[in-house]
Amino acid sequence: MVKGVRCSKCCPEGEGPAPPAPCPAPAPAPAHAYTKHIRTVSFGKLPPCLCLHVGRVEWAGGALAKRGEHVAFPETLSMAPYAQLPQPKMDLVSLVNERRLRTGISALNAGAGAEAGAGAGAERALYRLVAVVVHVGGPRSGHFATYRRGNGFEAKRWWYTSDTLVHEVSLQEVLRCAAYLLFYERAGPGAAAAMSTTDTTHHF
């Protein structure tokens, strides 16, 4: 949410060349000219590995300070609302051979193909949390530790690693930590159905 944005449609500025220097300064814009805007970001192409950084250093009271608030993050993340999913390509040659272009059935098939393509695109936008980096210390120094998901048949197990200290932790502990870096990997084909039985998919 961005506050104090000047709306050119609500209060358009005058057109033409700028007034000469001796002219008095223009009157301030009315209050209704400033509005609140919601800024969004969309991704043209989603990466195989998604890394999210949680900023925890701020300038407060004339010095650097570290913020330790908990930022909620999901185990399963869908980036579909923030991605421009590609439209499916139609095979015109096969449509002509099957004489569907003249009968009007092609329109129905195109709609079905679009729905299938959207479903496939949404599945490709599904990510699973694989690692979380936390920072222990102040804004100028400290130590990094990692929560890491297991591989293969141990994919449901998590470990806390800090130099030589390694021990198993629960997923609930991982989701409660003060994350500094979040690492998500794109889920494999058919993973959406498997995740729906055990995980809850979230959007930021």
Q: What digits encode the pLDDT tens for the residues 120-132?
A: 566 788 999 999 9
- Tens of pLDDT along 61-108? 889 999 989 999 999 999 988 887 555 555 555 555 555 444 444 444
Residues 103 and 76 grouped into a single domain? no
- The domain containing residue 191 runs over which residues? 49-82+125-202
| Domain annotation covers residue 74 | yes
Judged against a pLDDT cut of 80, whether residue 203 lies above it is answered with no
Contact 35, 65 (CB under 8 A): no
When pLDDT is cut at 50, 70 and 90, the band that residue 133 belongs to is very high
Q: How many CB atoms lie within 10 A of CB 145?
A: 17
pTM above 0.75, yes or no: no
For the chain, the three-class secondary structure string (H helix, E strand, C coil) is: CEEEEECCCCCCCCCCCCCCCCCCCCCCCCHHHEEEECCCCCECCCCCEEEEECCCEEEECCEEEECCCCCCCCCEEECHHHECCCCCCCCHHHHHHCCCCCCCHHHHHHHHHHHHHHHHHHHHCEEEEEEEEEEEECCCCEEEEEEEECCHHHCCCEEEEECCEEEEECHHHHHHCCEEEEEEEECCCCHHHHHHHHCCEECC
Residues 130 and 60 in one domain: yes
Q: Are residues 144 and 193 in the same domain?
A: yes
191 and 103 share one domain: no
d(CA 169, CA 97): 59
Assess contact for 195 and 72: CB atoms under 8 A. no
